[in-house]
A and B are shown apart, each in its own frame.
Chain A
Amino acid sequence: MALNKVDINVQPKEEGYVPKSKKKTFSYIQVLPVVSFALALGIWWVIAELELIRLPTPAEVIMQLYVMATGTVAGQPLHFHVYMSLQRVLIAFVIALAVGIPLGTMMGWNRRIEKIFNPIFEIFRPIPPIAWVPLAILWMGIGEAPKIFIVWVGCFVPMVVNSFTGMRYADKLLMDASRTLGATRSQQFFNVALPAALPSIFAGVQNGLSLGWMCVLAAEMIAAREGAGFLILQGMYVRNEAMIVSGMLIIGLLGFLIAIFLRYMEKVITPWRKEELV
């Protein structure tokens, strides 16, 4: 009865109503990124020229980058520092892959293995990798080993956590279906559970690598004579602010390249994964 009272003759206010979210955006939006870059660069330059804080001008940073790229820093060319950092990350990353993913997947697959390893892992998990620095130096001196160890801790933890959860929360329906169809235990593991867990495992690999990149910087800042982290610390010691900022830019660029590489690898390894929105 009440329905009959609704006035069905109400017309939309405007003809050809377009939802707000679908309306054409203003064209000035396209130029805004350029404006914001120009504005930021301008503010940076003004602050640096007025010496409000000790900041090099953009031109000084470019000059410094050129000087560093053609000359040497602490007796080594720039590409050597970059190479050393990448090498440390790579070695630690590969070891973490080889240890972390089997451990995590086995913990997720088998309750007994979980009961054995999880309590010990849970003691170490919340300790940030950087907190291992003093102990690592005490154990291994200040050579390559402690740095690789710290980066390894950083890569290892997210890999174990993610492959564990990916395995544990693999779709039960798929597991039951494969068992009904007569799959053996090892077929279930390799053909069903592992592919189902792969996106989660890969997210762990991604987190691990970016955490490892952060850890190598920390390790190099605390005790090293070469590497990307050493560059900015050296800049601080010789009181050369252009060197600090250029070092930060190099580090940012490397981090960016690593992220792009990982996004590409993700598409190659897990092509069935839905595209993320952002």
Chain B
Amino acid sequence: MNNVKLKNNFFTENYLSILSLSFFFLFWYYLVASGIVSDRILADPITTIQTFIFKLTNTSPEGATLFQHLRTSLILALTGFSLGAVIGVPLGLLMGWYKPVDALVRPLFDVLRPIPPIAWIPISIFWFGIGMFSKSFIIFVSAFVPCVINSYTGIRLTNPTLIRVAEVYGASYRETFFRVGVPSAVPMIFTGLKLALSTAWMTLVAAELLAANEGLGYMIQMGRRLARPDIIIVGMLTIGAVGALIASGLQSFDSKLSKWRS
């Protein structure tokens, strides 16, 4: 009977996943290869892989290699994201801790919050043209809102007992803010950063679809104009993979941080 348990390895655990994935790729391949779906609107998996390898070193047909597009997009996303985090997190913390700041900023924030970052695209193109600056601004807006909301909520949820203990030991309100409020808000701040990064990455694609001459969003848009589904799919998968990588990076950093906390 023990042998049966030993056989419980990777394949017996995951045979269903392996089957379903192979079925998925075969079905995808069959759809295109049999001509049910024209290869002008869908590329089969093998062509997609070939295009991916080709795009690693080659700039045709839309003028930049995959790495150049990726670099442009990453620089933009990280610029806007860091701006949003650097301004948004402290603002949220101050709003959550100091009532006058809250009363002053919150009404304006509540008016601007329901406007999705994507709706800022036209006016930002109007103001700043289609260059780097206008896209950074849009991504800044998209990252700013979740950073503020989550750090605000995080510091508001600080255990009141801890605050009172700090007060009893004679800490000033400002000291309590730095020693008790901010540390206890860290998990929520991280949730906000994760959310901000995924929103920023999505907004970036939208901004690049509308106005760009380089970047992953531009790449898939050109793939559509040139009727090259393989380029679109390579671009989409790259966007997805990079987004997932960034998210898992933040996740592992977060779990390391929480290990250190406890």
Q: Which residues of A contact B (CB under 8 A)?
A: 19-21, 25-26, 28-30, 32-33, 35-37, 40, 53-54, 112, 115-120, 123-135, 137-139, 213-214, 217-218, 221-222, 229, 232-233, 235-236, 239, 241, 244-245, 247-249, 251-253, 255-256, 259, 277-278
Contact = CB atoms under 8 A, between A and B. Distances in A.
Contacts of B243: 126-128
A89 to B, nearest CB: 12
Given A40-B108, A120-B20, A139-B41, A130 B209 contact: yes
Given A29-B99, A40-B108, A118-B17, 14 more contacts: A19-B167, A20-B167, A21-B163, A32-B103, A120-B20, A131-B217, A134-B220, A135-B233, A214-B116, A229-B119, A241-B123, A244-B122, A277-B153, A278-B156
Contacts of A249: 115
Q: Which secondary structure dominates where chain B touches chain A?
A: helix
Given A19-B164, A135-B229, A278-B153, A119 B127 contact: no
B224 interface: yes
Contacts of B42: 139
Contacts, number: 171
B35 interface: no
Given A36-B105, A40-B108, A126-B241, A138 B202 contact: no
B4 to A, nearest CB: 18
16 contacts: A25-B99, A28-B100, A119-B17, A125-B240, A128-B201, A129-B202, A135-B220, A214-B117, A221-B118, A236-B126, A244-B122, A247-B119, A247-B122, A248-B115, A251-B116, A278-B153
Contacts of B163: 21
Given A128-B239, A277-B157, A37 B209 contact: no
Nearest to B202: A128
B41 A21 contact: no
Contacts of A117: 20
B127 A112 contact: no
A203 to B, nearest CB: 13
Interface in B10-39: 14, 16-17, 19-21, 24
Contacts of A120: 20-21, 24
A36 B114 contact: no
A20 B173 contact: yes
Interface string B106-130: 1110011011111111110111000
Contacts of B100: 26, 28-29, 32
Interface residues of B, number: 66
Nearest to B149: A278
Nearest to B164: A19
Contacts of B41: 138-139
Given A127-B237, A217-B119, A241 B126 contact: yes
Nearest to A237: B122
B119 A251 contact: yes
B223 interface: yes
Nearest to B154: A278
Contacts of B239: 127-128, 131
A134 B114 contact: no
A134 B164 contact: no
A127 B116 CA distance: 19
A202 B250 CA distance: 26
Most chain A Cβ neighbours within 10 Å, of B19, B21, B163, B205: B205
A138 B224 contact: yes
A84 to B, nearest CB: 16
A222 to B, nearest CB: 6
Interface in B206-262: 206, 209-210, 217, 220-221, 223-224, 227, 229, 232-233, 235-237, 239-241, 243-244, 247
A218 B206 contact: yes
Nearest to A113: B16
B120 to A, nearest CB: 7
Contact of B206 (A20, A119, A127, A130): A130
